[in-house]
Amino acid sequence: MNSTRRLDHMRVMVTGGAGYIGAHTSRLLADRGDYVLVVDDLVTGSADRIPGIPVVSFNLANGSSARLESLMREHRIDAVIHFAAQKQVGESVEKPAWYYEQNVGSVAQLLMAMQQAEVHKLVFSSSAAVYGEASGTITEDAVARPINPYGATKLAAEQLISASALSWPLRAASLRYFNVGGAGRPELGDTQTLNLIPICFEQIAAHKSPLIFGNDYDTVDGTCVRDYVHVSDVADAHLAVLDALPDEPGNEVLNIGTGVGTSVREMVDAILAVSGSDLIAEVRERRRGDPAAVVGAVDRMKELTGWSATMSVADIVESAWESRQYFAALAQRS
């Protein structure tokens, strides 16, 4: 990875820093000598992931900006990395107003606190979901047209950050992740079954065939192609961006991916192989709205920071499997 870059040590507030990507990032920051304060409601996150790092239990959307401002002043915070958000697409369709309250409201509270506390550096966890049904190799200049409330809240939060940077000297970046997977350490793995890899592992554990939706796309093997990026690379990207925020106020939008596509068939085959399963993937009808191929153009990120992903699909799948085995053994002991 590229986390040997160094500027002066910083004092960083990481919201949602006990979650999946947040914990990886918090530990990288601490490992390189930065002071880290995690603010997390601990609903899906766990303080056990970040031993030795101070954690304040707090829901940003339901709390007050005054409390956040107080924490920033008390801990002399220099910068914020904002992960805290709800992220289930299906749930966002069922509860859109709540998603706006949580995902946009939390950013509003955070920005008010940062302005009052005179904290001018922000790295925001966004999503490639803002691109909606865009396909092919997607640049940051592609039209953002989300197709679900989750993606819409991420775009609204980006717009709020951009508007804030016009009214006070906020130096920000919004990172649009593609398909994040894997684990930097077994205990840091994704414990939610929301994405392809954990969903396939759940199917295999239940002795059911992993599902592939559609095999008649115009791709190398007929299945959808996506950009899969290791969570450790994603965490490292946040440090790279934090170190390279432009001097001028603004909100730099950056794709975080590998720039390389992997088909769903290739990914499922790798998952079956690492698990030692003799199951065969079951192909079903296409899902409505699934583009044939979605790959992130990552040139802008490399130009700004020098960062690029270094880990492979094999690294993603193998580390995710090790993490699953770790949590399974933990459950058996408890």
Q: Which residues are catalytic?
A: 150
Tokens standing for 66? 């005054």
Please give the single-letter amino acid code of residue 222. G
Cα separation values, 169 from 114, 115, 120, 284, Å: 11, 9, 6, 51
Contact 285, 211 (CB under 8 A): no
Angle CA(35)–CA(55)–CA(32) in degrees, nearest 5? 25
Look up residue 253 and give its DSSP letter. Answer: E
134 has which bridge partners? none
Tell me how far the alpha carbon of residue 101 is from its chain's centroid: 19
Residue found under tokens 């690029």? 308
**Nearby residues of 34 by Cβ (< 8 Å), 6 or more positions away:** 9, 10, 11, 12
Total Cβ atoms within 10 A of residue 45: 23
55-58: long-range pairs with CB below 8 Å, 24+: 55/17, 55/18
Burial code (b: 16+ CB inside 10 Å, e: under 16) for 265-301 equals: bbbbbbbbebbebeeebebeeeeeeebbbbbbbbeeb
Q: Are 325 and 198 in contact (CB under 8 A)?
A: no
Name residue, tokens 């946040």: 238
Q: To which H or E segment does residue 269 belong?
A: helix 264-275
**Taking a C-beta distance cutoff of 8 angstroms, is the pair 115, 168 a contact?**
yes
